[in-house]
Amino acid sequence: MRAKAKVKGPEKVTLVPKAKAQRMMDILCHTYPEAECELNYESDFQLLIAVVLSAQSTDVTINKVCAELFKYYPTAKDLAEADIEHIKKLIKASGFFNAKAKNIQACAQAIVSKYNGVVPTEHELLTELPGVGRKTANVVLGVAHGVSGWSVDTHVQRLSRRLGFTKETDPYKIELALQKVFPKQDWSKLSITIIWHGRRVCFARKPNCAACPVNELCPSAEA
Ligand code: SF4
């Protein structure tokens, strides 16, 4: 009989005081001054669809997928009227393509029928669209409209705990905790900076602590 694979439990979290949290984020912002959303898009609609598709995928893959998708269906009206099987084919590489195809087409149809093809800019209205949750709405409003908000993706979830900002595991509770630690005007910039650090150094499986600029302050730094 094969031995059961060991399931790794959540990492132990040591909370840090606000001042230390701010110091670590100052260092990371200084390390990645060019940090920005890495998705390619030419309109609010394309950004929204790219963010919806990016769940469980990488920005590199989504940029390739969206380059094809938006070649055929650049606007909400185009996507709303598209053949669903063609959408599935175009977005297959993004993963979970059946559900994602239904979601992005339903989202496009709602934008056309309710908002005349224009993506709404109110958080509440955005989150009413099919497939659009808090994280997606925060990314769209932060990146396209400068409205500060936390984008709690997988990197922000992991690093917020490793850096000692919160012990929470639920994305919404993490967002609320981060709101209390950092000033509102910085939320979008800090989200993107954490995402960049998670992609480049503080990897999920093997964080590269030896090369990390906050190594001496981070409570999870490995020797
Ligand atoms: S020291 Fe290690 S665990 Fe802490 S942020 Fe850097 S890479 Fe991540």
Q: From CA 175, how far away is CA 171, in angstroms rounded?
A: 6
Q: Is 80 in the pocket of ligand 1 (CB under 6 A)?
A: no
User: Which residue among the candidates 59, 135, 170, 173 is catalytic per the annotation?
Assistant: 135
Task: State which ligand 1 atom lies nearest to the alpha carbon of 218.
Answer: 4
Instruction: Kindly list the domain boundaries of the chain, sorted by start residue.
Output: 18-32+148-211, 44-145
- The predicted-structure confidence for 37-77, as pLDDT tens digits, reads as follows 999 999 999 999 999 999 989 999 999 999 999 999 999 99
In CATH terms, the superfamily for domain 44-145 is Hypothetical protein; domain 2 (1.10.340.30)
Contact 149, 187 (CB under 8 A): yes
Known catalytic residue at 8: no
**Nearest CA to 188 among 175, 173, 207?**
175
DSSP 86-139: HHHHHHGGGSSHHHHHHHHHHHHHHHHHHHTT----SHHHHHTSTT--HHHHHH
User: Which residue among the candidates 153, 167, 186, 206 is catalytic per the annotation?
Assistant: 153
| pLDDT score of 6 | 43
What would be the CATH architecture of the domain defined by 18-32+148-211?
Orthogonal Bundle (1.10)
Known catalytic residue at 153: yes
- The predicted-structure confidence for 76-124, as pLDDT tens digits, reads as follows 999 999 999 999 999 999 999 999 999 999 999 999 999 999 999 999 9
**Nearest CA to 68 among 51, 46, 52?**
46
Q: Is 163 in the pocket of ligand 1 (CB under 6 A)?
A: yes
